[in-house]
Amino acid sequence: MPNVYEIITARVVGKLEHGVIPWKKPWVSSDRPNQNFLSRKPYRGINVWLTAMEGFSSPFWMTFKQAQSLGANVRKGEHGTPVVYWNRLQVTDRNESGEDVEKSIPFARYFTVFNVEQVDGLPMSKGELFPEQQERAFSPIDAAERILDNMPCRPTTRYFGSRAVYNIQTDVLTLPERERFTSDSGFYATAFHECGHATGHPSRLDRHSNAGLTVETNHGAIRAREELCAEMTAAFLCGTAGIENEIDNCAAYVASWLAAIKGDPKAVIVAAAWAQKAADYILGTSAAQVAEDASAAA
């Protein structure tokens, strides 16, 4: 009898064979334009795209110095986002008649900015930093809650902002607050994804070192396989917890990363193997035990 991992893998692959399903971020974002927090001037032109693509829901950004001026600090391990600033340089030139004329030459500079979600110690309320956020009542799913609570060597978890991310340098997992998710199952699927990333830490499975991956290995391929692993881990854990409606979203996310690694027919197989080990670690059990539990539940 196939175990839960085999069942979920077959289901994900089946979804992939029918095309890419649009994947939606399962938590609420602000609809204000991205802007500098101090000046409140909305970004324009390419800066709209540069900031939007980072995936933060708070519209407010600031430079490192601006954060310091407010008595705050950019969190360790965070990466800034470049924004372009255009100015004009006045120069004196000579025209064809030999006369001096003033010319205005446009030139571009860039500044590195950070979203307020990347900054600690800002002396403002949550409402000021994250305006117009809608929240809903959260109802824990017992089976999924047990999986999170019982994860061995669990990383530090913070509920803050609107970005779901695991920082391997600090071993900190950050999630939006539970009430901001559009569904209870969406929260757990997202948390399981980030826990999947966390299993790769050297204190746990040390995934990249054990797989023989080095800095010389193609970075894009590493990231793609890691994302595949994390999302298939989420699919496995959702299946174990009985959160069936999230597996379609998992399949769509996996498909988006498969597009980035065309020509690697083993990508899903490798990711599934990594994910099985990750799910086993999070559950604190073996694949055989998982299969036995699934049979008993049936």
Asked if 103 and 148 sit in the same domain, the reply is no
pLDDT at residue 288 tops 60: no
Q: Is 18 found in the same domain as 160?
A: yes
Q: pLDDT over 70 for what percent of the chain? A: 66
pLDDT band at 85 (very low <50, low <70, confident <90, very high): confident
Q: At what angle do helices 267-283 and 4-16 cross, to 10 degrees?
A: 140
pLDDT at 89: 74
Region for 86 from its dihedrals, namely left if φ exceeds 0, alpha if ψ lies in -120 to 50, beta otherwise:
beta
User: Is the confidence at residue 174, as pLDDT, over 50?
Assistant: yes
90 and 43 both lie in a single domain: yes
- 136 neighbors 179 (Cβ within 8 angstroms): yes
Q: Are 23 and 261 in contact (CB under 8 A)?
A: no
Alpha carbon of 48 to those of 32, 88, 161: distances in Å? 12, 21, 20
Determine how β-strand 73-74 pairs with β-strand 119-120: antiparallel
Residue with tokens 């670690």: 281
pLDDT of residue 239: 82
The pLDDT score that the predictor gives to residue 81 is 86
Identify whether residues 160 and 282 lie together within a single domain.
yes
pLDDT at position 216 = 43
> Could you tell me the strand order of the sheet in which 35-36 lies?
35-36, 60-63, 100-115, 81-94
Q: Of 64, 91, 126, which closes a domain?
A: 126
Residues 146 and 275 both lie in one domain: yes
pLDDT at 220: 61
Its pTM stands at 0.58
Say which residue, 223 or 157, is predicted with more confidence.
Answer: 157
Residues 89-136: tens digit of each pLDDT: 777 777 777 777 787 776 667 789 999 989 999 988 776 776 655 567
Number of structural domains the chain divides into: 2
| Confidence band, pLDDT 50/70/90 cuts, at residue 20 | very low
For 14-24, letters b (16+ CB in 10 Å) and e give ebbeeeebebe
- Return d(Cα 50, Cα 48) in angstroms, integer: 6
- What is the Cα gyration radius of the chain? 23
Q: Clarify whether residues 21 and 116 are in a common domain.
A: no
Which among 41-50, 53-62, 228-237 has the top mean pLDDT? 228-237
Co-location of 155 and 118 in the same domain: no
User: Where among 95, 126, 157 does a domain terminate?
Assistant: 126
59 in the same domain as 11: no
Which whole number is the average pLDDT over 146-173? 90
- Percent of the chain beyond pLDDT 90? 28
Statement to judge: residues 17 and 72 lie in one domain: no
Q: Is the pLDDT confidence value at 294 over 60?
A: no
195 vs 222, more confident: 195
Model confidence band, residue 291 (pLDDT cutoffs 50, 70, 90): very low
Q: Which of 126, 143, 168 is the last residue of a domain?
A: 126
Contacts 24+ apart (CB under 8 A), 65-70: 66/36, 66/37, 66/38, 67/114, 67/119, 67/122, 70/122, 70/123
Do 187 and 277 belong together in one domain? yes
- Do the Cβ atoms of 255 and 16 come closer than 8 Å? yes
Average pLDDT over the chain reads: 76
Task: Please tell me the predicted confidence (pLDDT) of residue 166.
Answer: 92
d(CA 34, CA 56) in angstroms, rounded, equals 10
| pLDDT at residue number 23 | 35
Residue with the bigger pLDDT between 192 and 50: it is 192
What 3-state DSSP class applies to 70? coil
- 40, 121: one domain: yes
Total residues found in the chain within this entry: 298
Say whether pLDDT at 262 is over 90.
no
Give tens-digit pLDDT for 202-227: 999 998 786 555 444 455 667 777 88
Q: Supply the pLDDT for residue 173.
A: 95
| DSSP per position, 216-251 | TS-HHHHHHHHHHHHHHHHHHHHHHHT-GGGHHHHH
Which domain, by its residues, includes 100? Answer: 35-126
Q: Which helix (H) or strand (E) holds 268?
A: helix 267-283
